[in-house]
Amino acid sequence: MSDLPQITVIARDGATSVLQQSAGQESLMQLLFDSDQGVEAACGGCASCATCHVYIAEDWVPRLPPREQVEDLLLTYSEHFDKSRSRLSCQIAMKPELHGLILEIAPEE
């Protein structure tokens, strides 16, 4: 059995899917992008577009590294910013500890 993490994603239409990381998907954004979850990732992951915005399930928020300043700044410009749950998925590195993560895709900007 693969030890690559599986995460649960709630799409914008409310549909829930379980996705498994594949080799080469180093960030959460890459996993979502490759799985056609409507994550545009216009800047390619350099924290300058906010089109990879997701909401992390409340109980998972403290288990992730906190937002860096650049991520925080960009997200506060989003009209869909949720102070407690918003993250740029490109700024979250995929690792085994993320197994079981639950997130929701934020509305389009």
Which residues are at the interface with ligand FES (CB under 6 A)? 29, 41-43, 45, 47-52, 88, 90
Q: How far is the CB of 60 from ligand FES (least distance, A)?
A: 18
Nearest residue (CB) to ligand FES, 42 versus 93:
42
Determine contact, residues 17/105, Cβ cutoff 8 Å: no
3 state DSSP class of 60: helix
Nearest residue (CB) to ligand FES, 2 versus 41:
41
Q: For 33, phi and psi rounded to 5 degrees?
A: -60, -50
Q: How far is the CB of 3 from ligand FES (least distance, A)?
A: 26
Q: How far is the CB of 50 from ligand FES (least distance, A)?
A: 5
